[in-house]
């Protein structure tokens, strides 16, 4: 199953493209539609249907969701409508797409792609991927094996969820300079290093393409910190790769 449609649902946008899962490359230009507000199950499923139709897709599809996903069921939805909690994502997205679908956490999908084809390829030990976007997503790998649904964006820093201080959304919402925001990211990374002692930290999400603005301001970590090689396409690629993987529905 080399060609699979990857659909990456985020708090602000929903992106999709068909993927060659043997190379990790998009085989058509990705398309993006703003995440509907309110982001109810019906509204988001309608966007998924639009994207499937746009590509005239008839094969399988992988769909990411920004929250904990267990056996295809949505367990948390920090940055989307709370009506998602308890919803069978496989059933809802499968009905909308009229295709067999696989559903998984969005950061886990990005991590799968980065470990297979990107900055984490061939790296042994503990690899932590963090996506800095509307929130902070996380994916943890031990010798290449995923520990799913870690959700480290909700670790408490100074009495708040880390993503309320160090996500890209927080930088934009509070009009923070790159220097001030980098200090917040640095504090968060130091906290994660103290908890997990990772060998490699990969920074993904929308801000990864601007790594030159804040990476030089990060300091004091033992772990190597690198930008995601696949930038903001990692979630699409990982969603496609998740189709057929054991333990992911």
Divide the 249 residues of the chain into consecutive groups of 10 and give the mean pLDDT of each group: 92 96 97 98 98 97 97 95 98 97 97 98 97 95 97 96 96 97 97 98 92 93 95 94 83
Task: Say whether both 71 and 161 belong to one domain.
Answer: no
Element (H, E) at 141: strand 136-142
In a domain, 249, yes or no: no
Same domain, 123 and 98: no
CATH number for the domain harbouring residue 167: 3.30.420.40
Q: Do 199 and 127 share a structural domain? A: yes
Assess whether 142 and 212 both reside in one domain. yes
Phi and psi, residue 73, nearest 5°: -95, 135
pTM of the model: 0.95
Helices and strands (H and E) in the chain: how many: 7, 15
Whole-number pLDDT of residue 244: 82
The domain in which residue 86 lies consists of 3-105+238-242
Residue 135 shares a structural domain with residue 181: yes
CB of 20 within 8 A of CB of 40?
no
Residue 63 lies in a domain: yes
Q: Are residues 203 and 92 in the same domain?
A: no
CA dihedral 141, 24, 68, 243 (to 10 degrees): -110
247 in a structural domain: no
Are residue 7 and residue 82 in the same domain, yes or no? yes
pLDDT of residue 249: 72
CA dist., res. 108 & res. 242, Å (int): 9
Can you give the pLDDT at residue 98? 97
Cα–Cα dist 80/84, whole Å: 8
Domain tally for the chain?
2
In a domain, 80, yes or no: yes
**What would you report as the CA-atom Rg of the chain, rounded to the nearest whole angstrom?**
17
- Asked whether residue 208 is domain-assigned, the answer is yes
Q: Which of 165, 159, 168, 213 is nearest to 188 (CA)?
A: 165
Q: Are residues 25 and 117 in the same domain?
A: no
- Strands 156-157 and 73-74, sheet pairing: unpaired
């Amino acid at each position: 199953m080399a060609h699979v449609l990857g659909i990456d649902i985020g708090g602000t946008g929903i992106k999709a493209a068909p993927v060659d899962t043997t190379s990790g490359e998009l085989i058509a230009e990705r398309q993006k539609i703003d995440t509907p507000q309110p982001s109810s199950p019906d509204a988001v499923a309608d966007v998924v249907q639009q994207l499937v139709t746009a590509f005239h897709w008839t094969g399988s599809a992988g769909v990411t969701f920004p929250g904990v996903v267990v056996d295809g069921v949505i367990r948390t939805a920090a940055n989307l409508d709370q009506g998602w909690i308890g919803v069978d994502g496989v059933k809802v997205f499968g009905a909308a797409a009229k295709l067999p679908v696989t559903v998984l956490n969005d950061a886990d999908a990005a991590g799968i792609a980065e470990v297979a084809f990107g900055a984490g390829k061939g790296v042994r030990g503990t690899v932590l991927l963090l996506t800095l976007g509307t929130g902070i997503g996380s994916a943890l790998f031990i010798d290449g094996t995923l520990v799913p649904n870690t959700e480290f964006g909700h670790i408490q820093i100074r009495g708040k969820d880390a993503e309320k201080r160090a996500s890209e959304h927080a930088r934009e919402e509070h009009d923070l300079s790159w220097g001030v925001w980098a200090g917040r990211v640095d504090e968060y990374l130091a906290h994660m290093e103290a908890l997990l002692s990772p060998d490699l930290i990969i920074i993904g999400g929308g801000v990864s393409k601007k790594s030159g603005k804040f990476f030089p301001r990060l300091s004091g970590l033992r772990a190597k910190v690198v930008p995601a090689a696949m930038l903001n396409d990692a979630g699409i690629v990982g969603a496609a790769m998740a189709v057929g993987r054991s333990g992911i529905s």
